[in-house]
Amino acid sequence: MKFFAFSVVFLSLFHLSLGQPAHRHGGYRHRANRAFVQKRDKLTMSDAAFPQGTELPEVVVYVDQYGNPIRTATETVVYMPMETPSPQTSSLTNPPAPSSAPSPLDSAPPVVAPAPVPPPSPTPLGAESTPEPSSKQQPGWATPAATSASALSPEPFSQPDPYPTQPSTYPTQPDTYPTQPDTYPTQPDTPSSGSGLHGVTYSPYKGDSNCKTEAEVDRDFSLFSKDYGVVRLYGVDCDQVSTVSKAARKYGNKLLLGIFDINNVESAVDTMAASLNYDWSMVDTVSVGNELVNNGAATAEQSLGALALARSCLRARGYQGPVVVVDTFVAVLAHPELCDQSDYCAVNVHPFFDPNTGASDAGSFVNSMMQKIRNKLSDPGKRIVVTETGWPWQGEPNGAAVPGLDHQSIAISAIKGAFSSNAADVFLFTAFNDLWKKPEPSTFMAEQFWGMGGRYSPSDE
Residues acting as catalytic residues: 388
Cβ-proximal residues to 204 (8 Å cutoff; 6+ apart), any chain: 124, 164, 211, 212, 217, 233, 238, 240, 243, 244
What is the phi/psi pair of residue 54, to 5°? -140, 130
Q: In what order do the strands lie in the sheet containing 69-80?
A: 42-46, 69-80, 54-63, 111-112
Amino acid at 339: C
Q: Is the dihedral of CA 270, 275, 276, 278 positive or negative?
A: positive
End-to-end CA distance of the chain: 62
Q: Do 411 and 391 form a contact (C-beta atoms < 8 A)?
A: yes
Give the largest CA-CA distance in the chain. 79
Instruction: Return d(Cα 396, Cα 445) in angstroms, integer.
Output: 6
Give the Cβ contact number of residue 192 at 10 Å: 16
Characterize the bridge pairing of strands 146-147 and 150-151.
Answer: antiparallel
Distance of CA 382 to the CA centre of its chain: 19
Of 45, 205, 197, whose CA–CA distance to 113 is shortest? 45
